[in-house]
Amino acid sequence: MTTELFIQYLMAGITYGSIYAIVAIGFNIIYNTTGIINFAQGEFVMFGGMIAISLLQYMPMPLAIILAVLITMLIGALIEVCFIRWLKSPSVLRLIIITIGISIISREVAVHIWGESIRSLPYFVGNEISSVAVFGARVSSQVFWVIAASALMVVCLGIFFKTTSVGREMRACASNRKAATLCGINTQNMVTLSFVLSAGIGALAGCVMSPITHSQYDMGTGLAIKGFTVAILGGLGSSGGAVAAGLLLGILEAFSVSVVPLAFQDAISIAILLIILFVRPQGLFGSKEAAGLSEF
Amino acid sequence: MKKITSKLLLAVVAVSLCVAPAFAETIKVGAILAVTGGASFLGGPEARSLEMMVEEINAKGGVNGNKIELIIKDSAASPEKAISFAKQLIEEDKVLAIIGPSTSGETMKIKNICQQAKTPLISCGAAEVIVNPVASYVFKTPQKDSYAVKKIYMEMNKMGISKIAVLAGNTGFGKAGKGQLLKLAPEFGIEVVEVEVYDKKSNDLSAVVAKIKANKDVQAVINWSIVPAQAIVPKNMRQAGWDVPLFQSHGFGNIKYVEAAGAAAEGIIFPAGRLLIAESLPDDHPQKALLTAYKKNYESKFNEPASTFGGHGYDAITILAAAIGVGGNDREKVRTAIENLKNIPGTGGVFSFSAEDHNGLDIDAFQMMTVKDGKFVAYTGK
């Protein structure tokens, strides 16, 4: 394999990986505060991209993206308030079924609003054929936007959870909900906030990846499966684990095309998911004790 | 007095009950189309074209005075749903004929069901296997994929291209196309040096493009699919700085893909029906009048560009209406009538069916096209 080809695979892998990682982080935030997997996470990504594309007719792109992220955050809040908040001590299984329902409804709403056609945001810099040379390999400039946006989100989230009081309250809620309530933390608001945050993250991801992958009303499902795989692989609840696992899976997928036919690319990620679930259910970077304590 | 009126009324009702069906029969036509889901860019325009045409036919008083009732079922491109809808349409709704499904994969699943139930099926799927071997009740309107392949290879011969890479989507259309590409290549002295199949949900193919680019023998790429990857492959190729000619299938005949691929779509060569270049056809071309009319009506009614796929739906209902005109509301007579239709201009070409040919189109139904300044234009060679 030449260096050029190696770099080309690597860059493709990092692109896939960053996208998977962001979706996985969205899973993790909600998992941490509620103990459930929000299967509508992929739909947040779709809403972000689609809303930004619609807004683009009326305003410049940076504004459209910011507004799309805000609107999606509002959708996230609405979903929590309408479907989750009023449930009294719901079981994990019931919550999961609800999120699956939300995901299906979101897709139906999207197909009625935007129709079934594929759309995309324009490239932030350059156009469809412009590319940047990296050690002889050529990659689209948008790839760097995806990587930068993912890195930025991870750093900002880290700061938010470690240093702000709201962030600390959310973490308290994550480690022990009952104790957090006893300390005077409004855990219900924390759950809403976690939906808002992960909706915002998903929406931003949906915007930066749209020029590369296109946006379509049913793009969420595929992303959710990959994001879920990565979240499990990295250890549920761990943001650092999600980034590492995302990159690992993305790079594995990219390099796999040189050995096995392309059609097996998805089979590889599903196989990894199954192996991890059998062999190391707490994930590569999760601790066994933490996994033992969680409800799911 | 009252009594007489009511008796009179009764008589009128009785008479009208007896007479009504004789002069105003409603003919039920079923349609199974992928209005939503991964193939919705096929099924959506097809369903809208059908609705538009049926409305038009009924507004004119129907076929021989009989109104057509269209029952559209959304299969979302799922073969399982197509099967159950086919059974439902045949057994419960007792339709005269079924139009669709949109995809070749679904069509193959219900081919036998329609054949056994002796219900005519006019498919909008492109794969040749639908009508080869011929099933007496199964027809299709899109041009055969083998003709598309031959048209591409003829162009390659002209351009002096002999070593190619083939990319295909893992849909029924992609698989059938790949089969034809590999089968027909030796006939034209073309060697396929790289073959890759990608998932229909793929959203970035830069890794596989890098792989085939590394094979220096490749002189041209054929990407055969109907999924969004048609816009992704050109982007990934051009971003990789690779400028060999890119050929795509007739599945590329939707301007939305050109928009999605943007600058990367420029120069893609593909065979397609003449709908895309209707305006620039010579006035005496047999399809010109109907193509421009369909395009104008569709675009003003639905506010979206007409695509060749919607045209497949248009052709299906046009053929069926013509056959109903001869055979009436009788499955067997309609089937025979379709086989005897000759020189019916449609969007995909001029249809002439026979007992052996259930597609009715020849290779001239295709025209090589390319993309220039974001628009489809006839390809005239370099």
Domain with A166, as residue range(s), is: 3-293
> Which residues on B lie below 8 Å from A253 (Cβ)?
207
Question: For residues B111 and B216, what is the distance between their CA atoms, to the nearest angstrom?
Answer: 43
**Chain A contact for B37 (CB, 8 A cutoff):** yes
Please state, rounded to an integer, the average pLDDT across all residues of chain B: 89
**Quick one: average pLDDT of A16-35?**
88
Do residues B183 and B121 both lie within one domain? no
Q: What is the pTM of this model?
A: 0.78
Mean pLDDT across B20-39: 79
Selected residue with higher pLDDT from B119 and B171 = B119
> Pick from A122, A128, A257: which is nearest to B264 by CB?
A128
Q: How far apart are CA B365 and CA B285, in angstroms?
A: 12
Give residue B19's pLDDT.
46
Same domain, B111 and B259: no
CATH number, position A213? 1.10.3470
Amino acid A282: pLDDT: 79
Sequence-distant (6+) residues with CB within 8 A of B122 are B97, B98, B99, B100, B139, B140, B141, B316, B319, B320, B338
- A98 to A31, A40, A82, A95: CA distances (angstroms): 14, 9, 11, 5
% of chain B beyond a pLDDT of 70: 93
pLDDT in tens, B51-73: 999 999 999 999 988 999 999 99
CB nearest B228 (choices: A115, A118, A263): A118
The whole-chain average pLDDT of chain A stands at 87
Based on the domain organization, do B150 and B239 belong to the same domain? yes
**Three-state SS at B163:** strand
Q: Looking at chain A from residue 65 to 104, which residues have their Cβ under 8 Å from any Cβ of chain B?
A: none
Determine the Cα angle at B113 with ends B110 and B116, to 5°: 150
Mutate which of B48, B203, B221, B302 to disrupt the A interface (most A C-beta within 10 Å)?
B203
Burial of residue A150 (number of CB atoms within 10 Å: 0-12, 13-18, 19+): buried
Q: How confident is the model at residue B142 (pLDDT cuts 50, 70, 90)?
A: very high
**Pairing label, strands B138-140, B121-123:** parallel
B358 domain residue, yes or no: no
Chain A: give the shortest CA distance to residue B283, in Å: 33
Domain match, B228 and B373 both: yes
**How does pLDDT run across B261-294, given as a tens digit for each residue?**
889 999 999 999 899 888 888 888 999 999 999 9
The pLDDT of residue A107: 92
Give residue for tokens 């059908």.
B50
Q: Read off the pLDDT band of B332 (50, 70, 90).
A: very high
The CB density around residue B150, as the number of other CB atoms within 10 Å, is 18
Query: A128 vs B262: CB contact, 8 Å cut-off?
Result: yes
Q: A198 near A15, Cβ under 8 Å?
A: no
Total domains in the fold of chain A? 1
Chain A residues 185-224 with a CB less than 8 Å from chain B:
212-214, 216, 218-219, 222
What are the start-end ranges of the H helices in B217-302? 229-239, 255-261, 288-302
Confidence band (pLDDT; 50, 70, 90) for B245?
Answer: very high
Read off the tokens for A62: 């940076």
Q: Looking at the predicted structure, is the pLDDT value of residue A277 above 70?
A: yes
Q: Identify which of A49, A26, A21 has the alpha carbon closest to the alpha carbon of residue A211.
A: A49
CA dihedral A267, A262, B78, B230 (to 10 degrees): 150
Domain that holds residue B31: 24-143+288-351
CA A212 to chain B, closest CA, distance in angstroms equals 7
Q: Is B231 on the interface with A (CB under 8 A)?
A: yes
Contact check, Cβ <8 Å, A120/B260: yes
Mean predicted confidence (pLDDT) in B363-378: 92
**Judgement on whether residues B253 and B373 belong to the same structural domain of the protein:** yes
For B340, the token pair is 């005897």
What pLDDT is stored for residue A116 in this prediction? 75
B96 shares its domain with B180: no
Asked if B211 lies within 8 A of A5 by C-beta distance, the reply is yes
- What three-state secondary structure class fits A85? coil
Mean pLDDT of the B157-168 span:
94
Residue A259 CA to residue B42 CA, distance in Å, equals 34
What ipTM was estimated for this complex? 0.76
Nearest CA in chain A to B261: A128
Best of A116, A127, A144, A270 to disrupt the B interface (most B CBs within 10 Å) is A116
Q: What is the pLDDT of residue A87?
A: 82
Name the residue in chain B with its Cα closest to that of A138: B240
Mean pLDDT of A31-51: 90
pLDDT given for residue B22 in this prediction: 46
Give yes or no for residue B15 having a pLDDT over 60. Answer: no
Q: Is A128 on the interface with B (CB under 8 A)?
A: yes
> Are the CB atoms for B207 and B195 separated by under 8 Å?
no
Residue A296 is predicted with a pLDDT of 47
Digit-coded pLDDT (tens) for A187-209: 888 889 999 999 999 999 999 99
Give the C-alpha separation, B140 to B126, whole Å: 8
Check: CB of residue B170 under 8 Å from CB of residue B198: yes
Q: Is residue B150 part of a domain?
A: yes
Q: Do both B181 and B253 map to the same domain?
A: yes
B194 and B254 in a common domain = yes
| Lookup result for tokens 């489809």 | B376
| Residue B13 reports pLDDT greater than 80 | no
Domain assignment present for B11 = no
Looking up residue B151, the CATH number of its domain turns out to be 3.40.50.2300
Give yes or no: residues B130 and B152 share one domain: no
Q: Is the pLDDT of residue B357 over 80?
A: yes
Confidence of residue A289 (pLDDT cuts 50, 70, 90): low
Q: Is A270 on the interface with B (CB under 8 A)?
A: no
Least confident range from A12-16, A190-194, A265-269, B86-90: namely A265-269
Q: What confidence tier does A287 reach under pLDDT thresholds 50, 70, 90?
A: low
- B41 & B99 share domain: yes
pLDDT at residue A43 greater than cutoff 90: yes
Q: Minimum mean pLDDT among A216-220, B13-17, B123-127, B272-276: which range? A: B13-17
Structural domain includes residue B104 = yes
Cross-chain residue pair A116–B261, CB shorter than 8 Å: no
Residue A127 has a pLDDT of 82
In this predicted model, what pLDDT tens digit does every residue of A121-145 receive, in sequence order? 999 988 888 888 888 788 888 999 9
Secondary structure of residue A134 in the 3-state scheme = strand
Look at A41-45, B273-277, B316-320 and tell me which has the smallest mean pLDDT: B273-277
Tally of structural domains, chain B: 2
Residue B5 pLDDT class (50, 70, 90 cuts): low
Tens of pLDDT, residues A171-188: 888 778 888 889 888 888
pLDDT exceeds 90 at position A268: no
- Minimum mean pLDDT among B8-22, B190-204, B364-378: which range? B8-22
Q: Provide the pLDDT for residue B55.
A: 95
Q: Closest approach of chain B CAs to the CA of A133, in angstroms?
A: 9
Partners of A118 on chain B (C-beta within 8 Å) are 41, 228, 231, 256-257, 260
pLDDT category of residue B21 using cuts at 50, 70 and 90: very low
Q: What is the DSSP letter of B130?
A: G
Strand partners, B97: B29
Residue of B nearest to A218 (CA): B37
Say whether pLDDT at B335 is over 90. yes
The confidence score (pLDDT) of residue B361 equals 93
Q: Which residue of B has its CA nearest to A215?
A: B203
**What span, in angstroms and rounded, lies between the C-alpha atoms of B206 and B219?**
18
Residue of B381 and B361 predicted with greater confidence:
B361
Do B318 and B241 sit in the same domain of this protein? Answer: no
Domain co-membership, B240 together with B259 = yes
pLDDT reported for residue B219: 96
Q: A15 contacts in B (CB within 8 Å)?
A: 204, 206
